[in-house]
Amino acid sequence: MSTGDGGGEVLNPVEVEQIIRATANGIGKSVKVVSEAHAAFKTKTRIYEHAFAVAYISAEGPSHEKKYRAEKVTQQERADAEAAEVAFRHAERQMKALEIQLSAAQTIAKSVGQMYGAAGSGRG
């Protein structure tokens, strides 16, 4: 069974197990990364929303003007919240990619197991 990366490398069950273990460990670590990125996103969003509310209440004039003034005053907080969201979504996508890699490795493990079973493992 080859790795599927075009290298033609034949994997044995131990190598496949190591790939699965490493990928599973990566998923475990990514849970913390995603959680921390989500917490940062929520915090930055809360800071932006609070700053916007304060700016809106403090602004003079009709409501549509107050909105634009508040948006202008809170541009940095909004940019920070958006950057935190981008980081969070990126972490989610990375974790999903690891999950897909794990699924692929498990499929390879099944194929390698069948290959070794058909060829005989030299046991018995």
Please report which confidence band the pLDDT of residue 7 belongs to, taking 50, 70 and 90 as the band edges: low
d(CA 32, CA 38): 10
Structure letter (DSSP) for residue 74: T
- Please state the length of the chain: 124
* H-helix or E-strand spanning residue 49: helix 13-58
**What is the separation of C-alpha 118 from the centre of its chain, rounded to a whole number of angstroms?**
38
Report yes or no: 112 and 12 within 8 Å, Cβ to Cβ. Answer: yes
- What's the pLDDT at 8? 64
More confident residue, 7 or 26: 26
Tell me the per-residue pLDDT of 85-114, one tens digit each, with 9 for 90 and over. Answer: 999 999 999 999 999 999 999 998 998 888
Whether the full predicted model's pTM is greater than 0.85, yes or no, is no
Within 8 A by CB and 6+ apart from 66, the residues are: 56, 59, 60
